[in-house]
Structure 1
Amino acid sequence: MFREYGQPTYLQTDNGSCFASIQSPCGYGRLSFWLIDHGIHPLFSDPGCPGQNGSHERMHRDLKVECCKPSCQDLRAQNRSMNDFAYRYNHIRPHEQLGQLTPGSVYVPSDHEYRERVSRPEYDSTMDVYQVCSNGAIRWGSKEWISVSQALKGKEVAIRQTGERQRALYYRHFCLGSFELADRVEEGRYYRLISPRDSPQRFLDRHQRSRKSS
Structure 2
Amino acid sequence: MRKCINQQRGAHFGTNRRHTVWWLKLGVWPERIEPGHPEQNGRHERLHRTLKAEATQPASKHRRGQQQRFGRFRKVYNEQRPHEALAGRTPGQVYQASLRPYPARLPAVAYDDDVAVRQVRNNGLIKWRGELYFVSQALIGEPVGLTLVDDERWQLQFAGMPLGLLDTRLGRVIRPA
Q: TM-score, normalised by structure 2?
A: 0.88
1:16-95 alignment, distance < 5 Å: 21-22=11-12, 24-25=13-14, 29-95=17-83
AA paired with 1:170? Q
Q: Write 1 or 2 for the structure with the bigger share of strand.
A: 2
Distance of 2:8 and 2:27 partners within structure 1: 20
Percent identity, aligned pairs only?
A: 32
Q: 1:156 aligns with which of 143, 148, 159?
A: 143
Question: Residue 131 of structure 1 corresponds to which residue in structure 2?
Answer: 119
Q: Could you tell me how far 1:73 is from its partner in structure 2?
A: 3.5
SS where residue 192 of structure 1 aligns? strand
CA distance in 1, matches of 2:107, 2:81: 42
CA drift of 1:166 comes to: 2.3
Change (3 A) 1:55 1:98: same
Tell me the secondary structure at the aligned position of residue 65 of structure 2: helix
Tell me whether 1:120 sits opposite 2:114 in the alignment.
no
**Letter of the 1:153 counterpart:** I
Is this contact kept in 2: 1:21–1:29, CA < 8 A?
no
1:195/1:33 CA distance change after superposition, 3 Å: same
Query: What is the Cα-based RMSD across aligned positions, in Å?
Result: 2.1
Aligned 8 A contact 2:144 2:157 in 1:
yes
Determine if contact 2:16/2:137 at 8 Å carries over to the other structure: no
Q: Tell me the number of residue pairs that the alignment of Structure 1 and Structure 2 aligns.
A: 177
Q: TM-score, structure 1 length as denominator?
A: 0.74
Match of 1:166 among 153, 172, 176: 153
Q: Which of the numbers 163, 168, 176 marks the counterpart of 1:181?
A: 168
- The verdict on how the C-alpha distance between 1:75 and 1:120 changes in structure 2, with shifts beyond 3 A counting, is closer
The structure in which a higher percent of residues are helix is: 1
C-alpha change, 1:73 and 1:51, in structure 2 (3 Å) is same
CA gap 1:90/1:150 in 2 versus in 1, 3 angstroms: same
Q: What's the offset of the Cα at 1:160?
A: 0.6
Give distance in 1, aligned partners of 2:49 and 2:40.
Answer: 15
| Structure 2 equivalent of residue 192 of structure 1 | 173
What secondary structure, in the 3-state scheme, does the structure 2 residue paired with 1:48 have? coil
SS in 1 for 2:52: helix
8 Å contact from structure 2 (residues 146, 156) kept in 1? yes
Structure 1 residue 74 displacement after superposition: 3.0
Q: Which runs of 5+ in 1 are unaligned?
A: 1-6, 183-188, 197-214
Stretches of structure 2 that go unaligned for 5 or more consecutive residues are none
Letter in 2 for 1:193: I
Which string of whole-angstrom CA distances, capped at 9 and with x for unpartnered residues, describes residues 14-52 of structure 1?
46xxxx744x53x57211111111221123322222222
Match of 2:6 among 3, 7, 12: 12
Change over 3 Å in CA distance of 1:119–1:79 after alignment to 2:
closer
Give secondary structure in 1 for the equivalent of 2:30: strand
Paired with 2:166 and 2:7, the residues of 1 have a C-alpha distance of 27
